[in-house]
Amino acid sequence: MTPVLVSIGVTPAWVLPMLLGVPFFGSMLVWLLPRSTSHADASLARRVTIALLVATCALALALWSVVPSGVAMIDYPWIEDFGSRFRLEANGVSLPLILLTAVLMLLSVLATPRSSVTHRAASYYALILLLTAGILGIFLAADLLLFYLCWELMLVPLYFLIGVWGSEQGAAAGKTFVVYTMFGSLLMLVAVITIASAAGGTTYEQLRDMAVNRPMRLSAQLLCFSAFASAFLVKSALIPFHTWLPDAQSEGPPLAAVALGIKVGTYGLLVLAYPLFPAAALHPTVRLVLASLGVVGVLYGSLVALVQPDFRRVISYASIAHLGFVVLGISAFTPESVSGALVVMVNAGITTGGMFLLLGMLRQRLGDDRFQSLGGLAKQMPMFGTVAVLFALANAGLPGTNGFVGEFLVLIGAFPAFPVLVLLATIGVILAAAYLLWAVQRVLFGPSVDGDATVMRDLSRRETGIMCVFVAAIIGLGIYPAPLLNRMQMSVASLVNGVNASAAQVPIPSLSNGGQP
Amino acid sequence: MIREALLVSAILFSIGVLGVLTRRNALILFMCVELMLNAVNLSFVALSRLHGVTGQVFVLLVMTVAAAEAAVGLAIVISVFRHYRTVDLGRIRLLRG
Amino acid sequence: MSMSTTASQLIWLVPALPFLGFVANGLLSLVPAWRGERVDRAPSGRRTTVSAIGVGVMLVALALSIWLATSVSGSELSITSSLGQWMTAGAFQVDWALRVDRLSVLMMLVITGVGSLIHVYSVGYMADDAGFARYFAYLNLFVGFMLMLVMGANLPVLFIGWEGVGLASYLLIGFWFGETANAVAGKKAFVVNRIGDFGLLLAMFILFTNLGSLDFDVIARQQGAMATPLVTAICLFMFLGCAGKSAQLPFYVWLPDAMAGPTPVSALIHAATMVTAGIYLIVRNAALFSAAPVASLVIVLVGAFTALWAASVGLKQWDIKKVLAYSTVSQLGYMFVAVGAGAYTAGMFHLVTHAFFKALLFLGAGAVIHSMHRALHDAHRHDDAQDMRNMGGLMRRMPATGALMWIATLAIAGIPPLAGFFSKDAILSAVAERAMESPLAESSLGPIPGRAILWLAYGIGLITAFMTAVYMTRLMRYTFHGRFRSGDDVETAVHDAPWVLRTPLIVLGALTLVGGWLQLPEVLPLGRAGWLADWLAPIASSSGALLAGTSHLSHTSEFVLIGIAIAVSAAGIATAFLLLKPDALTTKAAAPAEHGIGLILANDYFVDTAIARGVVAPIVSTARKVLWRGLDLGLIHSVLVQGSAQVFRVVSSIASRAQGGFAGSYVWAITLGAVALVGIFVLRAGR
């Protein structure tokens, strides 16, 4: 069978496989580089990695600009026996996340100074490239087997990055992370096998076809949906499956924390679980449970963030709260709330990612970021202070920053469906201001802990440059989110309509007639 | 003819199994395993009368494998003996899980 | 036609210019950090640039506002301009739309006018501060957001301004962040404001769900499509937002603490502009509020009680800024009583006059504090430069400041012909008029008739006016008259305000003198009456009529009300002169402790302690003990996660007993298994 290269629109067909191939094969290239602990070798590995990531970013930007709306896709035959094809696709839902991943990974590598990674540098950078390939694969995959492979592929580099290049508790944090995620993935594997055998193949097209024309029974759909949902929600750290996240983000290197802020779990929920099991997803009880979990996440995450002993954990719990908004938006399932959920996903990546990198810069100077050892930093580091306050406010959803756009759309879109839950979630807005500003105050304001004895350097030119990108994104997306939102419109609309239409075919029992499937 | 051969094979096999199950000396165990293998060989040859030459080809395969297995197994027994000074299987717990 | 087209093309400049000033001054403030220097005082060259930018953008914005005011004064009532799409998703669409009409241009003039004066004042006041550029950056940021608030054509754009001024307030209150207390005060302001923002957000959600749009035009036209309980809910949520932003009970607690910031900040943000955003919001949505009498009555009640509460606390404050802070809360209460009763013009009138005299009071206080601070510093003393017990007889050393502050004091006490008299009288007369006969009086708040509430509000208004006169006169007597209590060496070092500080005071004083002419009552033959009412008529009159009805006070009644108001104010001033004994005062350090009612008032009824112990502490300790230690670390992590790992360990230790290590047992197992398998197949095949 000859390979089929399909491209819709004017995208050159090679961009998509290159986007996956450059980091993947690049990681093998870096792996082969010389590995002594000398400065020169570490430097070489770092430079090669940066070059490869720049190439990835350029490809992602090319994709972004060439696909204004609609879809780009390539297709190769792969494993015939499972009905799997190597199919990659980029549409309005995945494109922002693809660009986000590429840029975030590049900035994270740039933010890590040369000096902090000397121990096995080549492995470190190779793992980073592998991680990038894994995450991009998740967003690009248009075949369920490929999706699952990349899902698992993401785990391995993260485990090593957290365990080996993190703090002393990194190994334990990494182990917890892997066990948690594996548990979910196992359930998902069962569901993948079930649905692949039901549909006779694993490409999204075949699966969607099955969901529309030959839908499964409601009980089967509910089981499969729960399996998928548990995997995705564990990965995204929704309450109550969240305790791995604060440990992993605090004990691991900043780059791992940034990567964990890219919400692949909720992406999977939206793009896979909903279209494939529409009747289960739109079942009133399921919607209510998911929405309630989202609101619990917002409130619980915000309240616990109030009492954390160091800034990194505060931001971790803040991202759990953001996730609550995403889940609320997805479960309400209107075009406005789903768009809002996607915007929150992108924004959470930007703001929490930026914050983690900033805190990483602080840690390099001080070695310790517990609140009791910090204070009064704004006097000596005004640029750091400015950026920190801006990030904190973006996290809290200040209008004019990107955080507001997403949260507002989620809340206003979900209000007709769940008015009381939205009211509760809006309380989270108050709490966000409280815990973020309190954290900022303990770090930046007041007298310094040792009376100005230590001289702190403010952000260097490199660090300022990196932070400027984040600042520009935060303010730019806050004032002019139109490029992002317009790109999503069509895909979100077709997703929502599609799921609603397929769900209508399987009778959902109303609560009054006793729930006969 | 075939029936008798199969009967002998079965008897030999049972003797071998009983020996493997009840004997504690490693060398005796090996001899019983060889006995089992040869009983199987006998039944293969007998049945090849009915089903063609494949059975006899298989006998050759079994004999090769038996020889190799005996060699490796006896080497292991000698190593164990050198360390533990006994070949009594009741006293050796190296495969403990 | 061409004028309005040019106008609509240019209105975006009005908020944009201050934002440009913010960016420019902000970058200038970071220059030392970029270069790696540490400075204790901004060099004078840079100060000139910063001042030029900071004040310059304000003056240009003011000029544009004046021009826009003339554009809407004729037949063309509003100018709108849409700058492009903001958020679009599904059925939801919001644009960057600005709108200038008679209401917003009035606010714009106050913001840019009083704001420019305060910027000029700040040039002198903050000259010695190292954060000079940063200060002006924040101040410009504030003005930009405030302008956006009043110029927004839809609720989300207003909300950007709404939260943005909260941000600027946070930055400016905590400007001297070296002291933890200042940073805490800034954070408190932001968080309490956010509680109000919660209300405004919910109002937006309900509005969008029912009307499909958040434009003010659409809301005003189509509010009739919603049932009254729904409109009431929307209005109550909006009022929650106003209560947070405009410091009404019980969300006023951030305002007194906000005095930690520089005094010009208090003048601009906490007297003239940010806190008045709530009033603006209600008047802007007058169509909604006038359709919900229940909500309006609630506003009247809350406003009245706030006015009373804050005035009582002001009677026992010794810090001059705190007195003014509580005074602001109290006067805001008056404004809410007005707009709650549907007297939108009266509310806006008081907003404008209050901006004049309160800014004057704050700036004057700033001059006093500035001088006292310098004098105490020169004398190597560390006493509190803001406590009136350390002052006294300053009229001798600071006659200009003192005289101007007396003008403001008389205004706020309501003595004619100063502006404060006219605006306060307008409010009280309006309330009395509606209490006597109006649709609002006919409606009721639960079991309480509206008439009772309105008369109660009127009574409270009079009592508060009395108290206002008392505490303001007390302030003036203790600060400017009598003997100076901090010693002769300090007294000789006190100087009057320099010209850069004095000029804005003079301008504000003049405005206070003539401001009353904006809205003269009909009964007094002083000039053209009701000018402001006519100006705002296209916006507020129809809604106001819904609540007020068509009745009018007779001329006799009006005279009686005016007479009562003047009598109450005069009585207050007289009481202050008779009962207060400035000679018995000692300095703050030597002052006796408060006791009894004085103690309660001086500590603001212990509200802050009550909130800290009753609200904040339980939340934090629940979060710490129950949620974090109990659930997260305890239940989820230890029990579920470690616990399930433990289960596996136990099961595996049991199961590993099957691996005894005896080869014989393994052989038995193999044999039995093989027999079983073969047996199954044989039996199956046999069947």
CB contact at 8 A, C359 and C268: yes
Which tokens belong to C436? 């006597």
Cβ burial of B97 (10 Å; 0-12, 13-18, 19+) is exposed
Asked if B21 lies within 8 A of C656 by C-beta distance, the reply is no
Banded model confidence at residue A352, pLDDT cuts 50, 70, 90: very high
**Rounded Cα–Cα distance for residues A293 and A266 (Å):** 13
Q: For chain C, give the mean pLDDT.
A: 86
**DSSP 8-state assignment for residue C33:** H
Q: What are the distances in angstroms from CA C20 to CA A145, A343, B84, C387?
A: 52, 28, 89, 38
Residue A353 above 90 pLDDT? Answer: yes
How do residues A461-495 score in pLDDT, each as one tens digit?
A: 888 889 999 999 999 999 899 888 888 888 888 88
CA-nearest of C306, C324, C170, C164 to C256 is C324
From B17, B20, B96, residue closest to C661, measured CB to CB? B96
User: For residue C467, what pLDDT band results from cuts at 50, 70 and 90?
Assistant: very high
Distance from CA of A321 to the nearest CA of C (A): 14
Residues within 8 A of C (CB atoms), A 160-199 only:
176, 179-180
Report CB contact under 8 Å: B21, C671.
yes
DSSP state of A87: E
User: Which residues of chain A from 244 to 273 reach within 8 Å of chain C, CB to CB?
Assistant: none
pLDDT in the model for residue A299? 92
Residues in C closer than 8 angstroms to B92, CB to CB, are 661, 663
Res. C572: pLDDT tops 70: yes
Neighboring chain B residues of C658 at a CB cutoff of 8 Å:
97
* Residue A475 pLDDT: 93
Residue A500 has a pLDDT of 85
Q: If you write DSSP's letter for every residue of A314-340 in order, what string do you get?
A: HHHHHHHHHHHHHHHHHHH--HHHHHH
- Give contacts of A379 with chain C, Cβ < 8 Å: 177-178
Residues of A in contact with C198 (CB under 8 A): 426-427, 429-430
**What pLDDT shows up at residue A424?**
94
A318 vs A310: CA distance, rounded Å: 13
Contact C206 A415 (CB under 8 A): yes
User: What pLDDT is attached to residue B59?
Assistant: 95
Query: Is the pLDDT at C37 greater than 80, yes or no?
Result: no
Question: How many other β-carbons are positioned within 10 Å of the β-carbon of residue C380?
Answer: 7
Task: Return d(Cα A337, Cα A407) in angstroms, integer.
Answer: 9
pLDDT of residue A425 exceeding 90: yes
Pick from C38, C177, C641: which is nearest to A378 by CB?
A: C177
Candidate from A371-375, C9-13, C111-115, C194-198 with smallest mean pLDDT: A371-375
CA–CA min distance C627, chain A (Å): 6
- Choice between A241 and A66, residue whose per-residue pLDDT is larger: A241
Chain A residues with CB under 8 Å of C197 CB are 429-430
How does pLDDT run across A220-239, given as a tens digit for each residue?
888 888 888 888 988 888 88
Distance from CA of C667 to the nearest CA of B (A): 7
pLDDT at A131: 94
Touching chains, C (3+ CB pairs < 8 A): A, B
| A477, closest residue in chain C (CA to CA) | C86
Q: DSSP per residue over B8-52, as a string? A: HHHHHHHHHHHHHHH--BHHHHHHHHHHHHHHHHHHHHHHHHHH-
Q: Which of A186-195, A508-517, C143-152 has the lowest mean pLDDT?
A: A508-517
What is the rounded average pLDDT of the residues C328-334?
Answer: 93
C86 contact residues in A (CB cutoff 8 A) = 479-482
CB pairs under 8 A between B and C: 31
Asked if C663 is an interface residue toward chain B (Cβ–Cβ < 8 A), one would say: yes
| A46-91 pLDDT tens trace | 888 888 888 888 888 888 877 665 566 777 777 777 778 888 888 8
Taking CB atoms and an 8 Å limit, are B93 and C656 in contact across chains? no
- How confident is the model at residue C351, as a pLDDT? 93
pLDDT at A315 over 60: yes
Three-state DSSP class for residue C46:
helix
- Give tens-digit pLDDT for C65-104: 998 888 888 777 788 888 888 888 888 889 899 988 889 9
- Shortest Cα distance from C683 to chain B (angstroms)? 19
pLDDT (0 to 100) of residue A510: 46
Chain C residues closer than 8 Å to A400 by CB: 160, 163-164
Residue A3: the pLDDT is: 45
Q: What's the pLDDT tens digit per position in C468-480?
A: 999 999 999 888 8
Residue C637: count other Cβ atoms within 10 Å of its Cβ: 16
Average pLDDT estimate for A142-167: 89
Determine the residue among B13, B20, B28, B86 to mutate to test chain C binding: the one whose Cβ has the most chain C Cβ atoms within 10 Å: B20
Helices (H), C580-662: 597-602, 607-611, 617-621, 643-655
pLDDT of residue A122: 83
When pLDDT is cut at 50, 70 and 90, the band that residue C5 belongs to is: confident
DSSP string spanning C474-504? HHHHHHHSS--SS-HHHHHH--PPPHHHHHH
Determine whether the interchain pair A383/C156 forms a contact, defined as Cβ–Cβ distance below 8 Å.
Answer: no
Instruction: Tell me the torsion sign for CA atoms C599, C605, C611, C613.
Output: positive
Q: What is the pTM of this model?
A: 0.87
- The tokens 């204070």 sit on which residue? A375
In Å, how far is C681's CA from the nearest CA of chain B? 18
C-alpha atoms less than 13 angstroms from C-alpha of A55 in its C-beta half-sphere: 19
CB contact under 8 A, B94 and C656: no
Q: How confident is the model at residue C373 (pLDDT cuts 50, 70, 90)?
A: confident
Task: Give me the pLDDT at residue A1, please.
Answer: 37
Instruction: Tell which C residues from 209 to 238 touch A, by Cβ distance under 8 Å.
Output: 209
**With bands split at pLDDT 50, 70 and 90, how would you rate the model's confidence at A212?**
confident
Q: Please tell me whether residue A72 adopts helix, strand or coil conformation.
A: strand
Are the beta carbons of A2 and A84 closer than 8 angstroms? no
Please state, as a whole number, how many other Cβ atoms lie within 10 Å of the Cβ of residue A205. Answer: 16
Name the residue with higher pLDDT: A506 or C676: C676
In SS3 terms, C54-104 reads as: HHHHHHHHHHHHHHHHHHCCCCCCEEEEEEEEEEEECCEEEEEEEEEEHHH
From residue C655, give the alpha-carbon distance in Å to each of C487, C526, C538, C652.
90, 102, 86, 5
Beta strands C78-89 and C92-101 are antiparallel
Confidence of residue A508 (pLDDT cuts 50, 70, 90): low
pLDDT of residue C138: 94
- Paired with C444 in beta bridges are C449
Residue C369 to residues C319, C396, C488, Cα–Cα distance (Å): 10, 16, 17
What is the value of ipTM here, to two decimals? 0.89
Size of interface A-C (CB pairs under 8 A): 159
Instruction: Give yes or no for residue A517 having a pLDDT over 50.
Output: no
Kindly state the average pLDDT of the residues C363-388.
Answer: 86
Residue C270 pLDDT > 70: yes
Beta carbons of B95 and C663 less than 8 angstroms apart = yes
Q: Which of residues 42-81 of A touch C (CB under 8 A)?
A: none
In whole angstroms, give the CA distance from residue C171 to residue C22: 13
- Listed by number, the residues of chain A in 310-349 with a beta carbon closer than 8 Å to a beta carbon of chain C are 334-336, 339-340
* Cα–Cα distance measured from residue C610 to residue C590, given in angstroms and rounded to the nearest whole number: 29
User: Is some CB atom of chain C closer than 8 A to the CB atom of A307?
Assistant: yes
Question: What is the distance in angstroms between the Cα of A402 and the nearest Cα belonging to chain C?
Answer: 11
**Contact of C140 with C57, CB cutoff 8 Å:** yes
Using an 8 Å CB-CB cutoff, list chain A residues near C170.
Answer: 437
pLDDT band per the 50, 70, 90 thresholds, residue A452 = low
Closest residue in chain C to residue B94, using alpha carbons only:
C661
Q: Which two tokens stand for residue A78?
A: 């792969």
C-B interface (Cβ pairs under 8 Å ≥ 3):
yes
pLDDT at position C141 is 95
Contact across the interface for A303 and C90, Cβ inside 8 Å: no
CB < 8 Å to C659, chain B: 95-97
What span, in angstroms and rounded, lies between the C-alpha atoms of B32 and B14? 10
Residue C664 has pLDDT above 80, yes or no: no
pLDDT band at A516 (very low <50, low <70, confident <90, very high): very low
Subunits touching A (CB < 8 Å, at least 3 pairs)? C
Average pLDDT score over residue span C275-294: 90
pLDDT the model gives residue C243? 92
More confident residue, C515 or A356: A356
**CB–CB of A386 and C191 under 8 A?**
no
Chain-chain contact of B89 with C662 (C-beta, under 8 angstroms): yes
Partner-chain contact B93 C664, CB within 8 Å: no
Q: Do C623 and A303 touch (CB under 8 A)?
A: yes
* The pLDDT value given to residue C42: 61
A370 touches chain C (CB under 8 A): no
Alpha-carbon distance of A29 to A17, in angstroms, equals: 17
Encoded tokens for C155 = 């609720």
Q: How far, in Å, CA of C591 to CA of C389, rounded? A: 8
> In the predicted model, what is the mean pLDDT of residues B8-28?
92
What pLDDT is stored for residue C249 in this prediction?
86
Task: Tell whether C37 lies on the interface with A, counting CB pairs under 8 A.
Answer: no
Side-chain half-sphere of C120: how many Cα atoms within 13 Å? 18
Integer CA distances (angstroms), A60 to A11, A258, A278, A345, A452, in order = 12, 18, 31, 18, 45
Chain A residue closest in CA terms to C89: A336
pLDDT of residue A376: 80
Q: Are A154 and A264 in contact (CB under 8 A)?
A: yes
- Judge whether residue C510 has pLDDT over 50: yes
Distance CA A128, CA A14 (A): 23
The rounded percent of chain C whose pLDDT value lies above 70 is 98
Q: Give the model confidence (pLDDT) of C521-536 as tens digits.
A: 777 777 777 778 878 8
Mean pLDDT, chain A, whole residue set = 84
Beta partners for residue A4, in sequence order:
A75
Best mutation target among A412, A415, A468, A475 (most C Cβ atoms within 10 Å) is: A412
Q: A386 — contact with chain C (CB < 8 Å)?
A: yes
C661 touches chain B (CB under 8 A): yes
A357's CB contacts (< 8 A; 6+ apart) are A107, A108, A111, A254, A258, A466, A467, A470
Chain segment C14-29, per-residue pLDDT in tens: 899 999 999 999 888 8
Give the model's pLDDT for residue C609.
Answer: 84
For chain C, say whether B15 makes contact (Cβ under 8 Å): no
Q: Is the pLDDT of residue A11 over 60?
A: no
pLDDT of residue A224: 87
What is the gyration radius of the CA atoms in chain A, in angstroms? 22
